[in-house]
Structure 1
Amino acid sequence: MKNDYVRGAPDPNSGGYGGGYGYGGGYGYGGGYGYGGGYGAGGGYEGGSSAPQRSFKDYLLMFRERVWYLIVAFFIIFSGSILYTFNKTKVYTAVAQVQLLRDDPSAMGNIPGMEMEPNQIRSAEDLNTQISVLESASIIVGVEQRIQDDVRERFMAPYSDALSLSGPLSPTEVLGRNRKIMPKRMSLMINIAYTHPDPIIAADVANLFAKEFIDYNLKLNIDGSMKAVEDLRIRADQQKERVEELDMKLADYREQNNAVSLDSQENIAREQLASLNEMKLNAKNVYDMIETKWNLVESYRREQRDLWELSFISEQSRVASLLESISQAKIQISSLSKRYREKHPVMIQLLQQLQESEAELSSAVQNAVNKLDSSFSESKSNYEVASQRLAEKEQELIELSKTRVEYNSLLRDLDVQQSFFIALTSRMTQEKAQVNLKNPNARIVDEAFPPMKHSSPNVVMNLAAGLFGGVAVGMGLVFIVAFLDDRVKSAFDIEGTIGLPMLGIVPRIKKLDTNSKAQAVASNVDRHVTETFRSIHSALKLNDESKNAKVIVTTSTVPGEGKSFVSSNLALTFANHGEKTLLLDGDLRLPNVARSLQLENDFGLLDHVDKDVAIDEVIIKEVYPNLDVLPSGGKSKNPTQVLNSAKFEAMFADLRDRYDRIVVDSPPLAAVSDALNLLPLADGVLYVIKFNTVKRKTAVVNVRRLWESNTPVFGAILNNITSTLSSYYYSHYSDKAYQDYYIHNDEEFEEELAGSVEPTVDSKS
């Protein structure tokens, strides 16, 4: 009877384990597992969907199982805290209180160019700096030096036997270990605590720390001031050299540039520049006027016009008189021409005089032009000379300005350096006067006094720490061990990790041998075991696949998990319910069925397969009512050949027709692969797991091999669990009220069982 059921893939022909395992409310689920749909009608654990999650109760169960880890860890730690508390030397803590002051002026305070912020406590960083100073090794060394020789012996007496990595403890190491600095919030107050077995020494040392801190800071301030004075002296000397150097440089510059009085030189140069500029303007005006006249002369010449028509020529006396003479001569000639002809001596004389006057006029005009030409050349030359002199004077003034810039720069630099030198000298003088007036930047508010009560050991605190520490370590140890434990022991391991539904939980049977355990259902030696197998039978009957399964193979991970015990008692349960059942020993390497039922194993399966002995001759009939047993008939050297033979397969086909149920006890999967050879002939598999024995990883690997065979795995049976642990781990699978119900009706059950079960042995050789 096969199907395609594989892990994670729902079977369409499966109806699911609905309705609960067992009857009467025994070891029942309530909803059941569904191969095709999850936890029955509840729809919980769907194949391949979401695995069960650990609940808070699971963690409580893990804690309950390993509670002794907690008890032992708690006992060790709490006992240790008690021993430590009452054996520790009593020590006393004295506290001195110091107030930090804000004012601490800087030596460089008001020097131009060197202004610095006052050294004041303005922020948490400043306060932490003072605390670090108080915690420094310098303070410890100073306190150690303050301890006088007569007190030193008492101070070191409690630590004479104490050692460090470098040998016996030194006074500085003792001081550093027992000193504690405690700043008070939102204030400038600091508590200095010191702890010592002697309360008087504790108070004295705390006060020494406070005094050393104040003196140390005062010494630092004085040293800082003296260093500042020395720095000021050095800087003043350097500044003096700088001033002298600049003074010499300025004198050299004056000498090189002949710049004794730049102001007077610049004034003279500016006056000369103004005069030259005026001369240039005058020359320019003359030049422009003569140039204009000359241009008119040139223009008249080109036009061949008479030059005496020009006013500046006609206005000359010679030209003007000649023009007047010519005009009169022309008038006379014009008037006499009416009386005389041209050849007349009077006319000839007048014409000759006219010609002479015109010739003189031409000469006079030419002389005027020549004078104009000479004046033009002279005015042009004068203008050019004036322009050149003006440009030279301007350049001279520019050079003076350049000299003035560098000169002023040197002069300003000298003034600044002289001012800085004066400030340094003044500050140095002031600082020298203030060195002896330095005040400490802290003061003692409360001196330490010898305490009346010891500060350590703190009995309440130590015992509370031991109590809570023991509980915490114990709890941590419990859960660490629990998570490191890889063994199968809970429903979460079987269902969530291995991935199998759990069919039942078989309690541990005490004080019985192997033979009695194999017949526990028949003898009803343990009512809880009997009830467990009945609930497993009911669960198998409720599922469609297992309900009609004829051949059921039981296997396990490793030997010793109670696989044969489960096989025999499950077969007895089927038989008690009226089903014709055969218990077949399929472990041909280490057969156990016949021995556990106290039957002969001389003939059996191997005789039928290897020697062709009839099947009826090797089956032991009616061991119990409705129960036959087919032993192995010994051990086989080649079990896989037997299990894979055609004769073995034909035997199974014959047995299917004879029996309602065939329970096959097969070898464990992790040891050999014989069980896998039986799977093709089986209708389903029951996986037996011994409580707290098999590792989860090993079980997962072997169950995966079953999935890969495509043979339905009906579920897992957890074996050999104590009733106490069962009530903790699997309370949701059983109910105390139901158990009490069965126990109360036990007498009726025994009477019924006694009347129906009579063991008979029919062994054949």
Structure 2
Amino acid sequence: MTPPIVKRYLIALDQHKLIGLTSFSIIVAASAVVGMQPPPPTLYRATGVLAYNGPIAPFSTTTQTIQQQGKELTAEMLLAENVVKGAAARVKVDPKQIAKNVEVKLPKEDGPNVIQVVYVDNDEKRAAETVEALRQKMVEQSRAINSARLLEIIKSIEARLPKVKQELREAEQKLERYVRIEGPAILAAQDGTTLGGITGSEGQQRQIQMTLEGVDTQIRSIQNKLGLTPEQAYTSSALSADPIIGNLRSQIYQTETQLKILQGDLRSEHPQIIQLRQQLQAYEQLLSSRAAEVMGGNGVVAPLPSARIRQDSSLDPARQQLANTLVNLQTQRETLTQQLLASRKTEQQLRAEYVKIPNKQLEQARLQQQVALKQGLFDKMQAALVDARAAEAETVPSLSIAGSPTVLAGEGGSQGLPMTMLIGALVGVLVSGGLIFLLAMLDGTFYTVEEVRAALKNRDVPLLGELPFVTILDPQLGETPILLKQDSVYHEYYERFRSNLRRASEKPAKVLLLTSTIAVEGKTVSAYNLGIASACAGKRTLIIETDLRSPSSSKFLKVSPDPAASAEPLRYYAQLSECIRLVPDIENLYIIPTPGPVRNPAAILESSELRRLIEDARGRFDMVILDSPPLTRCNDALILEPYVDGMVLVTRPGFTQESILAEAIDQLSEDELPLLGAIINGVDKPIEVADVMPEEDETEIEQEEELESPTPAREKVPPQVIKR
């Protein structure tokens, strides 16, 4: 079997044979012109050697580095413009001629460690002088390169040193600020001061708590004896201790006594009774005023009632002492409570500070490490700068001249016309063949089945079938690729395609859409033949031509489209009984011819009439096949996608283009459309016929063989293999 690449090359050779023949003729003619040229003059080949200088004992490491780099010279460095011009000025030769005829051979891994300088000239003496001048300039060039490398090192260090120094200073300042702020806390944690403060605060709290409990016990005992709260005891003690209040109380008692004695003998309107009542009222006002002065408030606090003042100011000395003690204990309790709160706050602060100590220590260590790194880098750069400046006095060339140049004479003459033309013919065959192969590779069309199969596999698209090229002689229609005979030998391939469709998804696709990338890949032929194969299998099958931009092809099924359908396409699709046509020669096969070409085909495809037609057909038929326009022509196939269960992409060797196919598959994958797979149409396959066959069928197949012919852009299809 012929390999696919050979098939592709033979097709390209047939297409581009004129270009190949033209290139072959040009190369052979050029070789003939070269062969008729007179022989060139004798050339002299002068060779000089440059050796690498041996190692010396340098005082600086930079010198060692420069010496090692000096052994990495290239031909471009040695043949720099200044070297060629300097040598040309010395021997008085055009620099362009020297640059054209000079060659520098660097040492090989398994060869001697020398550099060869080769110069070709038609003058023996000038060749030797030019090589010598070139070697001297190359030695000077190696010294200049070493000096330039050393100067570059010094400039690089001097340019980076201020920045490194500034970074070191900033790191030191950052560490200093951190130590100044957080250092005391870290130091206190390290020497145990913080932990001791926490422990001491806890002990102080326990001591205060015990003292506070004792004070509370004393307060409760005195309250039980006095029957007064600390606030009441304070008021009673203050009022009882004031002599003015005591004097006013005694006068009030005397006035009340006199008033009670006189009320037994005198009436209430008696002047003396009235005077005593006024005195009593005045004493009570004075008592209230004096109590307000003793208790404070300056009139802001509401004055105490007179009865309450007389009662609160009646403590005897013993009870007054107990009241003072109760007030002192309450004051002591408040003081202890404040001390306890302050001690707890101090403890919480110490504990919070102690928890942060590890992070502060880590941060201090990190800052110290940064300072150490910056200091180390700064010290290394300073040492490198001193070492590089010391190396300036040790810079020497990396090369030295070894021996005198040798001059050898070359052979003159030419190959002769026959040999030159023979070589030109071989070169022409190679060039023309390579050019044809390059044109074949640049062509984006798939020419072989193997290429299409590999492209589908790389894109993870299942291959549902490989269908042969079909051409059948029909008395009325002439050559047609439609399988109207139910016993056609081609039915096997479409039956295999139909069975693969059933296995392409978990749920068999009932409404199927066939499309392609371009218009000549056999999409309509595949749709018709798939419908015929389904109908021959006993399935009620309907073919819907949804290409509303082109005329109907239903004449191949011997069905005539309705000529008035293009005027009112929506009415045409709304009447299902009128638009469905029975295919006369195939049982169970029906077709809805397209009314196209029509205006606004996209609007008709999106119409409710066509949607209802497809939904009704889904319920009436076992399989519905939609023949849609190519993807590169319009988006009609994508508009029909919501109505179908799956899509099949039709390809054909000789027509399908790689870039268009990849773009179409990527678009279907990105939009998550139900692509079931693809088929390859027009495949070069021999068709075998069963041994038992009627004579009239054999005659028809022989006619088919005679009428089959290859298309210009497709491989040649061999005749059918018929077994008698």
TM-score, structure 1 normalization: 0.41
Which of structures 1 and 2 has the bigger CA Rg?
A: 1
TM-score, structure 2 normalization: 0.43
